[in-house]
Chain A
Amino acid sequence: MKSDAPSPRRLLDPELLSRIGSLDVIARRVVEGTMVGMHESRSHGVGSEFAQYRPYIPGDDLRSLDWRVFARTDRYYVRQYTAETNLHAWLLVDSSASMGFQSRSVSKLDVSRILAASLAYLLVQQGDRVGLRPLAGATPTDVLPPGGGERHLHVLLHALDRMRAAGSGSLVAALDEALLRIRRRGPLFIFSDLYEPADKLGDAISRFSRAGFEVALFHVLDPIERNLELSGDIEFVGLEGDGRLTADPRRIRADYNSRFAAHVDALRRACNRSGADYVAIDTSGALDEALARYLRARRARVVAE
């Protein structure tokens, strides 16, 4: 694992933030909140601010009918409200040993920390609350409850900075644990290399979605993991204690790529089924572009809804 972890400020790459800062983080779902923010709640009619009347459509909740208007006009109108609230977003970062793998200058955990910090910065700047929860390898004491403001952001960035890739554990179990601990619904940003069976991961994400969380799955991979571009006979030693084996990458590359692509496809399908976003991150690629691309797509999807 890389020893010189990035400093908190260095995580907030100015160039990265300048390119992402013009974008608003628009949540696809408006969650319950106590603070008024710029995010539009999905629950029209249950908020505090009247928005509009619209004609009744069969199936609408009868409690939303405005009987006064009916008395005046003899027509059925439904009152609609727009709730202004803040988000309770969670950054779930996989800090197991496998995230320490790196074939270049940054490890997968480094990239995950940059992305998480960037998102945290944006969310805090927008007045949202952000929490941090390490997955698979960290201890519960490393959990940082959601908070807002510059001070909280500073604490969060320090927590990210202290994070080290070590240990092993089930990512699915860690997600299930998080589901039990996180009470308020909100955006959930998961950063991991996702070395778990795709069906189990899909089930875990589905449970989050059903609980009302908006899940974005950042699949962080090193280029070597994608294409196995290695030479010579290599004894592969599992970073999380899953044994060792010797192979000639040239001879097994085609098979590896095929099986890995099948795994990625299965993850992507599982996310689609659960309504979660799947974002593939290559540690050799431009992170700001990847993040910006994700946010643009996310906003477009919310607007469309």
Chain B
Amino acid sequence: MSFVAPAALAALALAALPVVAHMLRRARSNSLAFPSLAFLRETPSFARALTRPNRPWLLAMRILVVAAIALAFARPVVERAADTSGESVVVLVDASASMSRPSAHDGAVAALNQLIGTLGPRDRVRVGTFDTQVTWLGDMADPSTAANSAGTYAAGYGDVNLSSALTAANDALSESAGRRRIVIVSDFQRSNGPWTMSVVDPSIQVETVQVGDSFANSFVSDIAVSGPTDAPTIQCGLTHLSDGKRALGVIAAHLPDAGASGVRMEPAGPGWRAVVTDADGLDADDARYFAVTSPRRVVVCDPAGGAPYLAAAAATAGQSDVDVVSDLTAGIGVDTTVALLGGRALAGAGDVERVRSWVETGGRAVVFATTRVDGPFPAAEDASHDIEGVVRSADPDRVEDPELDATLLSAPIRAVHTVNAMPTDTVVLKTLSGEPVAVRRAIGRGSVTVVGFGLDGVAAPLVRTGAFPALIGALVPDDPESPAVAGHRTRGFGASARVAGPDGALVPTDADGSFRPERPGIFTVTTPNGVRNVPVVVAGSESETDLLTASEAAALARPATTARATAGADAVAAFEETQGLWRLVLALALALALAELFVVSRRSVAPPPSEELR
């Protein structure tokens, strides 16, 4: 049974009024002339009133009258057997970036299949995925057809806009008859709220299915940047050891329109924001973006073992001009950008001098330091202005200085980056308190940029959304308008520009050479002047790792609250019949109330004779 106006049930509280009235009446007792009061004791009036109501049958009738009036206004609906016209179901499956983790993805697929399996042949179902917008995997169809279309489900890169998804689902069900239902399959990240169902017709039932295990960390939020060339304005925070095992770098750039990148930021004391990463944190995969973003020839030096991955990543991205080396003995030229993965990249004999000479002739190097950088980098006139670099590592295999490592472990949040910058240095990154983290120093015709990154070679499937390319775009501002944002049109690269997506497929361009990338990744723009890599990020970001609890997710579900829950000709007829019955009940109850009021008013004119003794 449901109620058309359940708020009227609050009037049931008025049923207490007759009880109170009877208790008050109770205070007026029968009178009895008694020989002596010597052996009697007064009974408190309240105790007498509670002991026994006066005229219980009248009290019961009055309570029933009040309850009947309240129920009649609430208009109960007695639901009949399942409608034979079948049910219309819309299944919304979360396809945001967080759903790409295996437990969430597999859970969603299983839930989808199970749900479709429970539907009957007369039911109709439509499956759609949603992040910031809804993508329908098919039309409203029978369950078997819907099952086929559901097989194409895959998580994307964006975050969630549930309201738009619910609106679309509501529209999809607007023409359907019979019972209607929306099922939401999601991991229900807390920050994806507020979870309002107001856009859904009250006659539509809403169910929730929560999938996916909890996870410590995967995504980044609150990234913004004021502009790729406005390096000093880039703010950054401080890394710390997220779990005591992972070597982490320093990064907390605010990059606009950047998506998830495998880190999240937390307050870490006055002036500091900690960037917490885990297995899905910044890693060599991000270095790939750096590599392929640079228009220069890139030599990646990673003596620690990440090279094969980087090479594979570079090859996957179709960047043939990335060289991965284990030392810097290979020749580098002026047009080469060297990505030094870790300070040990300079540990080889003559590496520092080589880099110095190379930079002085116009080379550009970016050092991602995970261990002590044994400077000096190409020194200026005064050694006191050397850049010391960044030290961060808790990985026993990476730590070369046990004493330093112990210090780091005991002080997980720590500014380990000391920059004695020269006036000509450019602070690329700095902490919220203004302390430089990444500094670029022009040396000769070239420059060296030192960034405190940890670059552990751990594959991170979720780090695909371009926050790191955005950062690289800031650090290496070859393309002042990079990165582009998925879903938005890029600048024009010229009428002759040919654009290939991350998968190598050609992307349609407009007459001015602009295009609208639909997904993040590195797009290749080929013009008569050469090949340019355009990083594409997604707008928005996935949230933190905090998920709704199971009970909170279940509480989002909502039953159909109006008579259309039993829609269909028979059900509507039953509804009308029920309402007619309740109108009759209401009339009878009101008539009884008026009758008693009439009797009471007459009694007030002519008081009844005194009660008999017994």
Q: Which residues of A approach B to under 8 Å, CB–CB?
A: 98-99, 101, 103, 108, 193, 195, 222, 225, 230-240, 242-248, 250-252, 255-256, 259-260, 263
**Are A252 and B40 CB-contacts (below 8 A) given A232-B29, A235-B30?**
yes
Q: How far is the CA of A231 from the CA of B39 in the complex (A)?
A: 17
Report 30 cross-chain contacts, Cβ distance below 8 Å, ordered by A residue. Answer: A101-B33, A101-B34, A101-B35, A225-B35, A230-B613, A230-B614, A232-B29, A233-B27, A233-B30, A234-B29, A234-B30, A234-B31, A235-B32, A236-B32, A236-B40, A237-B33, A237-B34, A238-B33, A238-B34, A239-B33, A239-B34, A239-B36, A244-B37, A248-B47, A248-B52, A250-B51, A251-B43, A252-B40, A255-B41, A256-B41
Q: Contact string, B126-146, partner A, CB cutoff 8 A, digits 1/0?
A: 000000000000000000000
Q: How far is the CA of A55 from the CA of B295 in the complex (A)?
A: 162
Q: How far is the CA of A174 from the CA of B45 in the complex (A)?
A: 38
- Name the one of B35, B39, B45, B614 contacting A246, with C-beta atoms under 8 angstroms: B45
Q: Which residues of B approach A to under 8 Å, CB–CB?
A: 26-27, 29-43, 45, 47-48, 51-52, 54, 613-614
- Name the one of A98, A237, A243, A255 contacting B32, with C-beta atoms under 8 angstroms: A237
B45 nearest CB neighbor, chain A only: A246
**Are A103 and B34 CB-contacts (below 8 A) given A233-B29, A252-B41, A256-B39?**
no
**Are A239 and B43 CB-contacts (below 8 A) given A232-B30, A233-B26, A248-B51?**
no
Verify A252–B43 contact, CB threshold 8 A. yes
- Name the one of A195, A238, A242, A246 contacting B48, with C-beta atoms under 8 angstroms: A246
- Name the one of B39, B47, B613 contacting A260, with C-beta atoms under 8 angstroms: B39
A258 nearest CB neighbor, chain B only: B39
A228: min CB distance to chain B, Å: 8
A63: min CB distance to chain B, Å: 52
The 5 tightest CB contacts between A and B, nearest first, are A98-B35, A233-B29, A195-B36, A247-B43, A236-B34
Give the chain B neighbours of A98 by CB distance below 8 A: 35-36
Q: How far is the CA of A256 from the CA of B34 in the complex (A)?
A: 13
Q: How far is the CA of A12 from the CA of B461 in the complex (A)?
A: 119
Give the chain A neighbours of B37 by CB distance below 8 A: 236, 238, 242-245
Q: How far is the CA of A209 from the CA of B361 in the complex (A)?
A: 147
Q: How far is the CA of A248 from the CA of B32 in the complex (A)?
A: 12
Q: Which of A195, A234, A243, A256 has the most C-beta atoms of chain B within 10 angstroms of its own C-beta?
A: A234
Give the chain B neighbours of A233 by CB distance below 8 A: 26-27, 29-30, 43, 48
Other CB < 8 Å A-B pairs besides A230-B32, A251-B51, A259-B39, 11 of them? A98-B36, A108-B35, A193-B35, A222-B35, A234-B29, A239-B34, A248-B43, A251-B47, A252-B40, A252-B43, A260-B39
Give the chain A neighbours of B41 by CB distance below 8 A: 245, 247, 252, 255-256
B29 nearest CB neighbor, chain A only: A233
B51 nearest CB neighbor, chain A only: A248
Q: How far is the CA of A226 from the CA of B410 in the complex (A)?
A: 90
Verify A245–B42 contact, CB threshold 8 A. yes
A251 nearest CB neighbor, chain B only: B43
Verify A240–B39 contact, CB threshold 8 A. no
A99 nearest CB neighbor, chain B only: B35
Q: How far is the CA of A103 from the CA of B31 in the complex (A)?
A: 14
B237: min CB distance to chain A, Å: 75
B408: min CB distance to chain A, Å: 80
**Are A234 and B39 CB-contacts (below 8 A) given A246-B48, A250-B51?**
no
Verify A256–B29 contact, CB threshold 8 A. no
B507: min CB distance to chain A, Å: 92
Verify B36–A246 contact, CB threshold 8 A. no
B48: min CB distance to chain A, Å: 5
Give the chain A neighbours of B614 by CB distance below 8 A: 103, 230-231
Q: How far is the CA of A193 from the CA of B34 in the complex (A)?
A: 12
B142: min CB distance to chain A, Å: 71
Give the chain A neighbours of B51 by CB distance below 8 A: 248, 250-251
Verify A256–B40 contact, CB threshold 8 A. yes
Give the chain A neighbours of B38 by CB distance below 8 A: 195, 242
A95: min CB distance to chain B, Å: 13
- Name the one of A101, A108, A245, A250 contacting B40, with C-beta atoms under 8 angstroms: A245
Q: How far is the CA of A256 from the CA of B35 in the complex (A)?
A: 14
**Are A246 and B42 CB-contacts (below 8 A) given A103-B613, A233-B26, A233-B48?**
yes
B612: min CB distance to chain A, Å: 10
- Name the one of A234, A242, A250 contacting B36, with C-beta atoms under 8 angstroms: A242
A78: min CB distance to chain B, Å: 53
A259 nearest CB neighbor, chain B only: B39
Q: How far is the CA of A246 from the CA of B32 in the complex (A)?
A: 10
Give the chain B neighbours of A247 by CB distance below 8 A: 40-43, 48
Verify A234–B35 contact, CB threshold 8 A. no
Give the chain A neighbours of B40 by CB distance below 8 A: 236, 245, 247, 252, 256
A241: min CB distance to chain B, Å: 10
